[in-house]
Amino acid sequence: MNTANLIRIAKEYRRIAEEKLDHKEFCRSFSEKCRADGIDWTQLKKLVDAQAADARDDKKRVEKIVEQADFASSYADLLSEHERKTDFCS
């Protein structure tokens, strides 16, 4: 192991590690703002992250998120309808 390389890499990464911590604190403030406005930060963050990643490599992440949401909504509708019918017949 080359000690000089180890130190150089550690110094280079230190800047990135500090930026990650800053970003984490910044994201926490977004989470708090969203919570105050009744916005689901987790879902919003996932969507914006997918948009940014899709812009880089066009892997259709946003499309997959929307598709998953459509499935969840359809399942919820079906289950809700079933519960109404079950309650009505009881």
pLDDT of residue 85: 81
Provide the residue-wise pLDDT of the chain in tens; the chain has 90 residues: 899 999 999 999 999 999 999 999 988 999 999 999 999 999 999 999 999 999 999 899 999 999 999 999 999 999 998 888 877 565
pLDDT of residue 90: 57
CA–CA dist 51, 53 (Å, integer): 6
Domain borders along the chain are 1-38, 40-90
pLDDT of residue 44: 94
Give the distance between the most distant pair of CA atoms in the chain.
77
CA–CA dist 23, 76 (Å, integer): 35
